[in-house]
């Protein structure tokens, strides 16, 4: 019954998003909400900030679906009447990161601020979480409550507190930023996010652990519709509000389900991309005059439609740096890589 309720939530979100997306695109077009598509000839304008609709649909779904479930009771079908505190916590985390995405779209808050300030955004989820014994590679499940650090005049800082108050905020912040960074091509961010959300739901279903996945299901439904409009050739982009909110949802979903290491495996392409970017920034600081490490945000497109990228220091640029590839081909290769690691993540216990 839980799986059916999750499926209804996902389908409601999908249907509502499918109905409202054309209207939203028309409204954004009328308001002139455009940015440049840097990987098309002549860099044509493209609509932006579809993340607003993803967020709106998610909230409407979470409000309306429990009301629908209450009506089902009259017909003898019992579904959850309210979402859980963990689901509410995930929703609040998504809202905070989305708001921060709006600030970044209009004010460009900078990368340092994206690391420091969002740490506090995880606490609506942290305060409703209880301690758990995390699964550690080669060590199995570890009882963290047996670990603790005595602080004079304060008390004992337990392993469970460290897990919830330190690891969880850092985990969500890192995932949200990595998701925001692994973008730039039509359909890249939305497609990989949809794969991650789908496998998070699949793993939860396989583990019979769907109780706290209603927010994730609502976001996945809206994301599926957005992907249709965002895939190559894209008609609208998500903006930072969309990429940060969906990234935060993925990170919050992994920690709410206690899938810390499974999440790390599924997110491995994003982690590799982040480490490559970190290496790039370090090398640029060491050798600021070296053209190999010059900071550039976009590549170009050749006359034959293939990508011309400045270096191989982000994951999406590695293949087109060595081979002549189109934007669509590179994005499909990133999908395949994400799928591979998501399948591997299904076999990681926690």
This prediction has a pTM of 0.94
Residue with tokens 């009259």: 74
Q: What is the pLDDT along the chain (350 residues), one digit of tens a residue?
A: 788 999 999 999 999 999 999 999 999 999 988 999 888 888 899 999 999 999 999 999 999 999 988 888 777 777 776 789 999 999 999 999 999 888 877 777 666 776 788 889 999 999 999 877 787 787 777 766 666 665 666 556 677 778 889 999 999 999 999 998 999 899 999 999 999 999 999 999 999 999 999 999 999 999 999 999 999 999 999 998 999 999 999 999 999 999 999 999 999 999 999 999 999 999 999 999 988 899 998 989 999 989 999 999 999 999 999 999 999 999 999 999 999 999 999 999 98
Return the H-helix or E-strand segment holding 234: none
List, as own/partner pairs, every contact residues 301-310 make where C-beta atoms lie below 8 angstroms and the sequence separation is at least 24, other chains included.
301/39, 301/40, 301/41, 301/327, 307/39
Two tokens, residue 323: 């081979």
Tell me the C-alpha distance between 100 and 95, whole Å.
Answer: 9
Buried b (16+ CB within 10 A) or exposed e, 105-137: beeebeeeebeeebeebbbbbbebbeebbbbee
């Amino acid at each position: 019954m839980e799986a059916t309720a999750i499926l209804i939530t996902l389908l409601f979100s999908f249907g509502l998003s499918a109905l409202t997306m054309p209207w939203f695109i028309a409204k954004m077009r009328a308001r002139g909400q455009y940015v440049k598509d840097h990987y098309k000839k002549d860099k044509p304008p493209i609509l932006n900030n579809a993340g607003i609709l993803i967020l709106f649909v998610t909230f409407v779904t979470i409000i309306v679906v429990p009301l629908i479930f209450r009506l089902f009771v009259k017909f003898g079908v019992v579904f959850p009447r309210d979402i859980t505190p963990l689901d509410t916590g995930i929703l609040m985390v998504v809202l905070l990161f989305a708001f921060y995405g709006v600030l970044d779209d209009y004010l460009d808050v900078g990368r340092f601020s994206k690391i420091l300030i969002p740490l506090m955004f995880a606490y609506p989820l942290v305060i409703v979480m209880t301690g758990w014994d995390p699964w550690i590679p080669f060590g199995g499940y570890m009882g963290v409550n047996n670990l603790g650090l005595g602080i004079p005049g304060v008390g004992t800082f337990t392993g469970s507190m460290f897990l919830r108050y330190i690891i969880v905020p850092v985990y969500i912040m890192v995932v949200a930023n990595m998701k925001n960074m692994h973008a730039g091509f039509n359909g890249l961010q939305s497609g990989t996010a949809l794969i991650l959300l789908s496998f998070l739901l699949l793993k939860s279903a396989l583990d019979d652990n769907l109780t706290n996945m209603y927010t994730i299901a609502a976001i996945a439904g809206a994301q599926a519709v957005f992907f249709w409009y965002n895939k190559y050739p894209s008609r609208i982009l998500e903006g930072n509000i969309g990429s940060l909110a969906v990234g935060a949802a993925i990170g919050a979903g992994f920690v709410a389900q206690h899938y810390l290491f499974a999440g790390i495996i599924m997110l491995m392409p994003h982690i590799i991309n982040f480490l490559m970017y970190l290496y790039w920034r370090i090398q640029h600081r060491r050798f600021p005059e070296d053209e190999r490490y010059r900071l550039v945000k976009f590549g170009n497109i050749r006359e034959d439609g293939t990508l011309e990228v400045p270096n191989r220091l982000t994951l999406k640029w590695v293949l087109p740096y060595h081979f002549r590839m189109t934007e669509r081909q590179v994005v499909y290769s990133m999908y395949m890589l994400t799928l591979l690691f998501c399948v591997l993540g299904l076999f990681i216990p926690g």
